[in-house]
A and B are shown apart, each in its own frame.
Chain A
Amino acid sequence: MNAFRQLLKRDVMLTFREGGAVGTALGFYVMVITLLPLGIGPDLNLLARIAPGLLWVALMLAALLSLGRLFETDLEDGSLDVLATAGLPLEAVAAVKCLAHWLGTAVPLVIMAPVLGLLLNLPLDAYLPLVMSMLVGTPAVSFVGGIGAALTLKARRGGMLIALLMLPLFVPTLIFGIETVAGAVVDSGAFWPSFLILSAISLASIVLAPLAIAAALRLQVQ
Chain B
Amino acid sequence: MKLVADGLTLVRGTRTLQSGLSFSVDRGTALLVTGANGVGKSTLLRAIAGLFPASAGRVRLDGAADPDAIAEAAHYFGHLNAVKSGMTVEENTRFWCGYLGGKAQNVLAALETFGLLPLRDIPAGYLSAGQKRRLGLARLLVAERPVWLLDEPATSLDVASQAVVANVVNRHLAAGGIVLAATHVPLGLSPATELALKAAA
Contact = CB atoms under 8 A, between A and B. Distances in A.
Contacts of A222: 46, 51-53
A221 B42 CA distance: 13
B21 to A, nearest CB: 18
Contact of A85 (B49, B53, B81, B85): B49
Interface string B50-88: 111100000000000000000110111011111111110
A87 B99 contact: yes
A172 interface: no
A188 to B, nearest CB: 46
B122 to A, nearest CB: 14
A14 B88 CA distance: 11
A7 B95 CA distance: 8
A3 B101 contact: yes
B18 to A, nearest CB: 15
A222 B45 CA distance: 11
A6 B87 CA distance: 13
B50 A82 contact: no
Given A2-B98, A81-B76, A221 B84 contact: no
B50 A78 contact: no
Contacts of B50: 85
Residues of A contacting B: mostly: helix
Contacts of A13: 87
B139 interface: yes
Interface in A66-111: 73, 76-79, 81-88
Given A2-B101, A3-B98, A85 B51 contact: yes
Contacts of B82: 77-79, 81-82
A17 interface: yes
A154 interface: no
A97 B129 CA distance: 27
Interface string A24-49: 00000000000000000000000000
Given A3-B101, A6-B95, A85 B71 contact: yes
B79 A77 contact: no
A86 B100 contact: yes
A187 interface: no
By CB atoms of chain B within 10 A, which of A17, A78, A84 has the most? Answer: A78
B49 A14 contact: no
B54 to A, nearest CB: 11
Contacts of B148: none
B81 A81 contact: no
Contacts of A82: 76, 82, 96, 139
Nearest to A16: B86
A76 B136 CA distance: 14
A10 interface: yes
Nearest to A7: B99
Contacts of B46: 81, 222
Contacts of A88: 99
A181 B53 CA distance: 48
Given A17-B86, A77-B80, A78-B79, A86 B72 contact: yes
Given A82-B139, A86-B75, A88-B99, 16 more contacts: A2-B101, A14-B84, A14-B87, A18-B86, A77-B81, A77-B82, A77-B83, A78-B78, A78-B81, A81-B51, A81-B78, A85-B49, A85-B50, A86-B99, A87-B99, A221-B51
Interface of A: 2-3, 5-7, 10, 13-14, 17-18, 73, 76-79, 81-88, 221-222
Closest 8 CB pairs of A and B: A78-B80, A6-B98, A78-B82, A85-B71, A79-B82, A82-B82, A6-B99, A3-B99
10 contacts: A3-B100, A10-B95, A14-B84, A78-B82, A81-B49, A83-B99, A84-B51, A85-B50, A85-B74, A222-B51
